[in-house]
Chains A and B, each alone.
Chain A
């Protein structure tokens, strides 16, 4: 380090290692038309999907556009509260901000009729029994605790129905534009 010349009166002081300048800013988040529509109905225990105007793919939760094409999605469909696990992860370390019993399962849930999945918890299922293609259903919070929040569904639990075949589980309806081929 180069030598720094400071007045002799402060020469022996400890060097400053860091400085804190706290910043706080407040926002009134505007979720947009799609998310508002979704959250309003979610508070009525309904799950909405958005329909792609390009190929009819159903996107849950709706974000306003079909992200593959940049196409506005303004048509919604009501989804069933059942689906399957596309993939999952068993976690043995606690997650900051949430009190979860360890180990817990986070899974990519595909609702019946949906072409994309979303992340959620799976419970009432020993980790060693969790598998890709396993059928699950939503466990909702008590009715009086439900609101416009992603926390409405506590977790997903196995229905006990036969699994979806492994090859049919997970992402579908995603095809590369241009070659006209769908890998669904």
Chain B
């Protein structure tokens, strides 16, 4: 496998942004290009992730290319998924041996529309979507299942809420009114507008662009069926499989940046991956506090890379999820060593 590293990243999240997608992304894309000294003409491949359903506009990603500057013409691709999958496509391109550098970015602006409605449109279009179940209610179905089976406890959820920073302590958690039984507001995400941009480079180039490149030592993504009825809600086979293929457990993980927008998903995923429920090092920016659909996953990868650049960690895990009830999962292991 060709060694590929993340050498620069920039991000921004706000609850409600007045900038349009281009105005949001220009400073972020400019920052990573300036930090690495790369001009767009020196970048082999540009790949992005976003959703027209958030923008309320067809081919909205094409307009956002104004933030990149595709003159002269660039090699470009887009996924209607979280940017973490754009990074995966880019990683494959590196493995093909056709590029040495790449720009990956993604963004989401849920504030103009109703995210609960947008999320309903990703459900099975024949049997589920016409019922318009909202995302909190679906997460609550899984939470109820796990609580009643005693696979997780309210204590776990309260611990996670405190760790994520949605409440100060357990008392505050238990005082909250139920939002979607059994979930409280502290269990559910606050949505944010935002974006993230990053530069990747192959071995030989990465060392020139970054003092301590964050090497991708394993990456894999898997999917579970979208039929809720056909899924065992006690487990996340796709996450486990992706973790195994990405070699998550080959060595210790210093920091896990996991993309879980609900406390119940955080607890379940940690159990599935044998990660500590109350980790020593915790994410500084938990997605429950600021969930940016289409960017949160790539942001986890950026944060996991940042921990390596800042020498706070040497081996980190970044996880991204997409689809209802963590249907799709991507695992990316980063390391300060090439391994």
Residues of chain A touching chain B, judged by Cβ–Cβ distance below 8 Å, are 19, 21, 23, 25-36, 63-72, 174, 176-178
Indicate which residue in B41, B66, B114 contacts A25 across the interface (CB closer than 8 Å): B114
CA distance A182 to B65 in the complex (A): 22
Q: Is residue B38 within 8 Å, beta carbon to beta carbon, of the partner chain?
A: no
Nearest residue (CB) in B for A24 is B117
Asked if A177 contacts B72 (CB within 8 A), the reply is yes
Nearest residue (CB) in A for B132 is A23
Asked if B112 contacts A67 (CB within 8 A), the reply is no
User: Given the interface contacts A25-B118, A69-B71, does A33 sit within 8 Å of B23 by beta carbon?
Assistant: yes
CA distance A26 to B113 in the complex (A): 6
Contacts between the two chains (Cβ within 8 Å), count: 96
Give chain A residues whose Cβ lies under 8 Å from the Cβ of B130: 21
Q: Is residue B111 within 8 Å, beta carbon to beta carbon, of the partner chain?
A: yes
- Which of B25-33, B226-234, B286-294 lies at the interface with chain A? B25-33
Give chain A residues whose Cβ lies under 8 Å from the Cβ of B253: none
Nearest residue (CB) in A for B70 is A67
Question: Measured between C-beta atoms, what is the minimum distance from A85 to chain B in Å?
Answer: 24
Q: Which B residues, 93 to 122, have Cβ-Cβ distances below 8 Å to chain A?
A: 109, 111-114, 117-118, 121
A32, A70, A176, A177 interface centre (most CB from chain B within 10 Å): A70
Give chain A residues whose Cβ lies under 8 Å from the Cβ of B279: none
Q: Is residue B147 within 8 Å, beta carbon to beta carbon, of the partner chain?
A: no
Residues of chain B touching chain A, judged by Cβ–Cβ distance below 8 Å, are 17-23, 26-27, 29-30, 40-41, 53, 56, 63, 65-72, 109, 111-114, 117-118, 121, 125-126, 129-130
Nearest residue (CB) in A for B73 is A176
Nearest residue (CB) in B for A70 is B69
Question: Measured between C-beta atoms, what is the minimum distance from A25 to chain B in Å?
Answer: 5
Question: Measured between C-beta atoms, what is the minimum distance from B13 to chain A in Å?
Answer: 16
Give chain B residues whose Cβ lies under 8 Å from the Cβ of A65: 22-23, 26, 66-67, 69
Nearest residue (CB) in B for A35 is B20
User: Given the interface contacts A29-B56, A68-B69, does A178 sit within 8 Å of B41 by beta carbon?
Assistant: yes
Asked if A23 contacts B72 (CB within 8 A), the reply is no
CA distance A67 to B73 in the complex (A): 12
Give chain A residues whose Cβ lies under 8 Å from the Cβ of B72: 176-178
CA distance A65 to B72 in the complex (A): 16
User: Given the interface contacts A29-B56, A30-B18, A30-B109, does A71 sit within 8 Å of B23 by beta carbon?
Assistant: no
Question: Measured between C-beta atoms, what is the minimum distance from A24 to chain B in Å?
Answer: 9
Indicate which residue in B56, B67, B113 contacts A70 across the interface (CB closer than 8 Å): B67
Nearest residue (CB) in A for B125 is A21
